[in-house]
Structure 1
């Protein structure tokens, strides 16, 4: 197995929990390359969905997940592996279904050449809903339009593998 020369951190959590804000701060503190799933793939995903005649704001349908989810994550891993020879790397993305897979950290270590330090960013669902509304992203509109249905599909539980717990809301910070 190829081993990387620098550390890798993976920041996960449900949408609008504050992953990007946390990952930016972590990358700055570490002098690391930041690979955020939205920044890396957003334009390509929107173009591909549009070309396929699908809603360019969709990030939750089976069509999106079948066509793009794996490709976006594999792109992040390829980019991370390429940078880890020279610099520390922070990868940010939801990785929600991976949180239920006990052996995912080992598979990712094999893929990257280093075992990442995992961080799970979370906040209350009500706060996530407020944040989605405030950030004004078109990709959040379908979630906000039918919040309760979206919440039923969104995995919010802590990952089953060891991780740094990052509570990121006022009610959790006080409690």
Structure 2
């Protein structure tokens, strides 16, 4: 961890101007720490994906999840280690399992449609750190969710090899939303 602390300090020193006060310096330090922490998790997840020979399908599924995550919000783990562990299970290991599931197109359309509908109904769901501020904000996010699901459905229709991974990414985001709804605490707004 000393190596990461050195990198963090160097970046903070580069970004901090002389006239910044302690509060501004701490904000920069906190932001740098968050970014480095996320980069470290991404490197670990994708190194595992490379070792398991599933880099591209992990990346694609992660993109589907991330596109929805930005507007659907949902559960966040409070511990970085648990977050990393669950991300490894959900992405490289999960896609290895899901890629060998062969569903007929009818079942895949039915399951993906059901997951999309449930995701639209239950999302967005805020957390204490990423709240849904009011009814207008909720409606704004709902429109974005509808548009993003529409784009994913276009990909589902026109890129047959992506279908199972789109289904899986939507399902992972639905699990995050439902976990926040039923376990994560009181929903705001």
TM-score range with shorter-chain normalisation?
A: under 0.3
Q: Which has the higher helix share?
A: 2
Higher RCO (Cα < 8 Å, 6 or more apart): 1
The structure with the largest alpha-carbon Rg is 2
TM-score, structure 2 as length reference: 0.26
Q: TM-score, normalised by structure 1?
A: 0.27
